[in-house]
Every structure is written in C-alpha cells, then in structure tokens.
C-alpha cells in the first residue's frame, strides 16, 4: 500500500466530518485515482461521491482495472452515482454476464432505475437464462 493509499484509508475511516474532508481532498484523489490499489479505490469512490461534483465518467475507467471482489464492489458503488442512469450502457454490458454469476448479481443490484427499453430487454434475457431464479 502506497502513501496516498494510506491517506485515502485514513480519510475514509476518520471520525471527523467526512463530507467536508471529501470535498477538500476531491481533486487530489481524482488526480491519483489511477495509481491507487484496487482495495483503496473501492473506498475512494464513496469518498468522492460524498464530496460531490464528481461524475461517473471520471471514475468509470476503474472497472477496466478491477477484478473479482473489487470489480463487483466498484460496480455497485458506481450505480449509486447521481448520473449513473446517463451511463446505462455500463450495466447493459454486465447484464450479459453468464459465467461470473456474482458479477451478474451485483449488476442486477446496482443497475440504475430507469425506464429504458434496452434495460427491459436485458432483464428479460436474464430471466430467460435463469428461469429457476424466479421460483
């Protein structure tokens, strides 16, 4: 874990007002985001969201870097961004997943709630692929 990873960890776990800290550290965290370890960017994303004024497109590149548990957690956290519904294509890709069922599960949990025919079609395909899950 690098020095900035430790800083982010301390910011996240501080008992002080995290929203104010997140606002004051937002730009520095964004600048170093690509250098953070996967464990750290999973806690950096909620901090950035708390600080406000961060768009999903500024952090979505992390999905390409993440694997396993971190990818699932990251997908879930990205779904909580206010502008997530503007980036529905991210979730549409993950809703096609049929091998990693945990990743599919997180995609289902985090998909933005929008009235979109592409999303309905993707959800129907999941239902068709896993009819036993409806019982």
What pLDDT digit, counting tens, does each position of 54-94 carry? 999 999 999 999 999 999 999 999 999 999 999 999 999 99
pLDDT at 18: 82
What tokens appear for 37 in the block? Answer: 């370890």
1-15 burial: b if 16+ Cβ within 10 Å, else e:
eeebbebbbebbeee
The H or E element spanning position 43 is: helix 38-51
Q: How far is CA 99 from the centre of its chain?
A: 20
| Spatial separation of the C-alpha atoms in residues 75 and 53, rounded to whole Å | 19
What tokens appear for 29 in the block? Answer: 């965290």
Residue 135 domain flag: no
| Spatial separation of the C-alpha atoms in residues 112 and 107, rounded to whole Å | 9
The mean predicted confidence, pLDDT, of the chain is 93
Residue 60 domain flag: no
What tokens appear for 28 in the block? Answer: 């520095």
**Which of 33, 54, 75 is the C-terminal boundary of a domain?**
54
Residue 36 domain flag: yes
The answer to whether residues 75 and 111 belong to one domain is yes
The answer to whether residues 76 and 107 belong to one domain is yes
Q: How far is CA 15 from the centre of its chain?
A: 24
pLDDT at 17: 84
pTM: 0.87
Find the domain containing 105 and state its range: 66-130
The answer to whether residues 49 and 74 belong to one domain is no
**Residue 61 DSSP class:** T
């Amino acid at each position: 874990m690098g020095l900035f990873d430790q800083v982010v960890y301390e910011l996240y776990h501080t008992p002080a007002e995290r929203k104010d800290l997140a606002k004051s550290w937002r730009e520095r965290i964004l600048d170093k985001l690509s250098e953070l370890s996967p464990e750290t960017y999973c806690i950096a994303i909620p901090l950035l969201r708390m600080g406000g004024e961060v768009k999903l497109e500024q952090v979505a590149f992390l999905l390409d870097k993440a694997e396993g548990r971190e990818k699932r957690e990251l997908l879930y956290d990205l779904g909580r961004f206010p502008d997530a519904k503007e980036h529905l294509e991210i979730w549409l890709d993950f809703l096609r997943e049929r091998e990693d069922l945990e990743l599919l599960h997180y995609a289902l949990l985090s998909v933005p709630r929008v009235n979109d025919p592409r999303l309905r079609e993707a959800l129907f395909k999941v239902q068709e692929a896993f009819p036993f899950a409806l019982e």
